[in-house]
Amino acid sequence: EAGVAQSPRYKIIEKRQSVAFWCNPISGHATLYWYQQILGQGPKLLIQFQNNGVVDDSQLPKDRFSAERLKGVDSTLKIQPAKLEDSAVYLCASSLDNRRGQGQFFGPGTRLTVL
């Protein structure tokens, strides 16, 4: 089966610019997650969707980050405006649903560098 797809793989921008990342989860997976992984740290959950509704966005810096999952499939994560500390790998993951036992499947990530 096809895995989680993400694009772009790499992005370099200057601070105060905007950037958007795209994620296509595994077909049929209802739950979608966005994580931020700063160098030397583990992934940190930013937002969790169940179909097209937000389940948890408690760690999303809402003053600059936004995410949507229209039609309950693809998702976009946007940063506007970017700061230097946003440099990280942004990971998308999906699972069949949000009950335990399903496991999360991760995409390759988008490496963002903010100059």
Partner 1 sequence: AQSVSQHNHHVILSEAASLELGCNYSYGGTVNLFWYVQYPGQHLQLLLKYFSGDPLVKGIKGFEAEFIKSKFSFNLRKPSVQWSDTAEYFCAVGSYNTDKLIFGTGTRLQVFP
The site for partner 1 (CB under 8 A) is made up of 3-4, 31, 40-45, 48, 56, 91, 93, 95, 97-109
The 8-class DSSP code of residue 42 comes to: -
CB atoms within 10 A of CB 42: 7
Identity of the residue, 82 or 90, whose beta carbon is nearer to partner 1 in the bound complex? 90
Give min distance, CB of 21 to partner 1, in A: 15
- Of 68 and 97, which CB lies nearer to partner 1 in the complex structure? 97
Of 72 and 81, which CB lies nearer to partner 1 in the complex structure? 72
- Between the CA of residue 40 and those of 43, 44, 57, 89, 104, what are the distances in Å? 10, 12, 23, 11, 21
